[in-house]
């Protein structure tokens, strides 16, 4: 029976597993930045860059932290225990873009009102649905700009998944036959085929966005930024275009006009690094990057205390929020209330507009 199992189960199972691995590699569409980059590309947004970097799961958390870094909101962690609800406070006088308003509206939907903490499965499903809508809107914007195809690629994942399930039906029949005949070698081979088939279902992406040639320079820039962030993890900041050797300008520190501007020096470098926190979240390097910021903060505090006193310490604020939420991915699910600068709870996008226009 083993001679029948090999061509009927083993070979097809490992063939579709190999195709699933190829599909996963194709879906990633990896690019490599030619040089390390120390700042986001001008005109980019964290949400758009998250999709260009295939970091959808971390997009909302990174965008929320970006609002904190730009001093448009404050993240208020009530304590240091995990799963603690996180408050979000609008900074007085903050100017939000339509994309940022859509994000806050998704995080604090109409069914999430004062007194309710988002810990229930129904709330999580509703939140996930609203965030998917924000991601979908961002995808449409990227498609309009000619950076991604309008439709996601679905047929390889669908085809391989169908073949995997058909293979499991055949393998189940072979297992029954092997048990009836007490054929241990055939049974072992069939179980191995089942494992390969299950691995195919896990490995194969159901769909993926297709990046167009116009997106390549921006994706290479993002990979260069990832290289720079990764170099900090290894404590190797001597890379091309590092802030220590770069000519820093006010526009490099606060390109969007928000937050404090510092023309040069250690404080400018600190705020430049601070602005990379959302991108550290995108690439899963937030803990290493915050450790770098803490070291720079300590050195700056000893040498430039008067200047530092006027700056909000966002790094510690973000660190407390991430610890209370249990991690960057869980941050958006742990948010509790949206309040204005006076501490009044805002419910719904209508109150958000009123607060911004007050």
pLDDT at 86: 84
Residues 264 and 141 in one domain: yes
pLDDT at 83 over 70: no
171 vs 316 pLDDT, higher one: 171
Span 99-114, average pLDDT: 75
In a domain, 7, yes or no: yes
pLDDT at 284 over 80: yes
120 band by pLDDT with thresholds 50, 70 and 90: very low
pLDDT at 198 over 50: yes
Q: Where are the alpha helices (DSSP H) in 108-145?
A: 121-144
- For residue 91, the 8-state DSSP code is P
pLDDT at 77 over 90: no
- Give φ, ψ of 132 to 5 degrees: -60, -35
Torsion of CA 328, 330, 336, 337, to 10 degrees: 50
pLDDT at 256 over 80: no
Give the count of beta carbons closer than 10 Å to the beta carbon of residue 348: 16
pLDDT at 253: 42
* Residue 50 backbone zone (phi > 0: left; psi -120 to 50: alpha; other: beta): alpha
Residues 56 and 194 in one domain: no
Residues 342 and 236 in one domain: yes
State the residue range of the domain holding 105: 46-146+213-357
Tokens of 191: 């179980």
Residues 109 and 58 in one domain: yes
Residues 264 and 308 in one domain: yes
254 vs 306 pLDDT, higher one: 306
Element (H, E) at 224: helix 216-233
pLDDT over 90 percentage in the chain:
41
Residues 26 and 57 in one domain: no
Task: Determine the Cα–Cα distance for residues 223 and 332; give it in Å rounded to an integer.
Answer: 25
Residues 114 and 172 in one domain: no
pLDDT at 187 over 70: yes
Domains contained in the chain, number: 2
Q: At CA 69, angle to CA 330 and CA 322, rounded to 5?
A: 25
Span 248-253, average pLDDT: 42
251 band by pLDDT with thresholds 50, 70 and 90: very low
Sign of CA dihedral 259, 86, 338, 54: positive
Instruction: Return mean pLDDT, the chain.
Output: 81
In a domain, 158, yes or no: yes
**pLDDT tens-digit profile of 26-42?**
998 999 988 888 889 88
Residues 180 and 250 in one domain: no
Beta carbons within 8 Å of 116's beta carbon, 6+ residues apart: 123
242 band by pLDDT with thresholds 50, 70 and 90: very low
């Amino acid at each position: 029976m083993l001679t029948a199992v090999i061509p009927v189960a083993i070979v097809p199972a490992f063939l579709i597993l190999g195709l699933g691995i190829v599909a996963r590699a194709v879906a990633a569409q990896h690019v490599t930045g030619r040089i390390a980059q120390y700042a986001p590309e001008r005109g980019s947004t964290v949400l758009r860059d998250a999709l260009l970097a295939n970091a959808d799961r971390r997009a909302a958390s990174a965008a929320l932290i970006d609002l904190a870094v730009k001093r448009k909101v404050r993240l208020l962690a009530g304590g240091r225990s995990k799963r603690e609800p996180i408050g979000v406070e609008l900074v007085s006088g903050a100017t939000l873009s339509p994309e940022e308003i859509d994000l806050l509206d998704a995080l604090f939907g109409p069914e999430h009102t004062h007194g309710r903490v988002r810990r229930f499965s129904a709330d999580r499903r509703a939140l996930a649905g609203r965030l998917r809508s924000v991601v979908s809107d961002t995808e449409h914007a990227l498609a309009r700009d000619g950076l991604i195809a309008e439709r996601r690629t679905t047929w390889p994942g669908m085809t391989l998944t169908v073949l995997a399930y058909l293979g499991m039906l055949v393998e189940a029949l072979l297992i029954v036959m092997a048990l009836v005949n007490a054929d241990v070698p055939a049974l072992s081979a069939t179980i191995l085929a089942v494992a390969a088939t299950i691995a195919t279902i896990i490995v194969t992406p159901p769909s993926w966005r297709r990046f167009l040639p116009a997106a390549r320079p921006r994706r290479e820039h993002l990979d260069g930024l990832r290289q720079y962030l990764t170099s900090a993890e290894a404590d190797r900041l001597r890379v091309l275009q590092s802030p220590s050797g770069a000519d820093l300008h006010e526009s490099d520190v606060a390109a969007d006009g928000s937050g404090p501007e510092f023309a040069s020096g250690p404080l400018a470098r600190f705020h430049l690094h601070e602005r990379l926190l959302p991108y550290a979240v995108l690439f899963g390097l937030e803990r290493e990057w915050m450790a770098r910021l803490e070291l720079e903060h300590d050195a700056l505090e000893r040498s430039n205390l008067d200047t530092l006193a006027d700056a909000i310490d966002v790094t510690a604020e973000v660190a407390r929020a991430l610890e209370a939420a249990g991690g960057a991915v869980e941050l958006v699910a742990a948010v509790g209330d949206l309040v204005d600068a006076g501490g009044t709870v805002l419910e719904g996008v209508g109150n958000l507009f009123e607060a911004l226009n007050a």
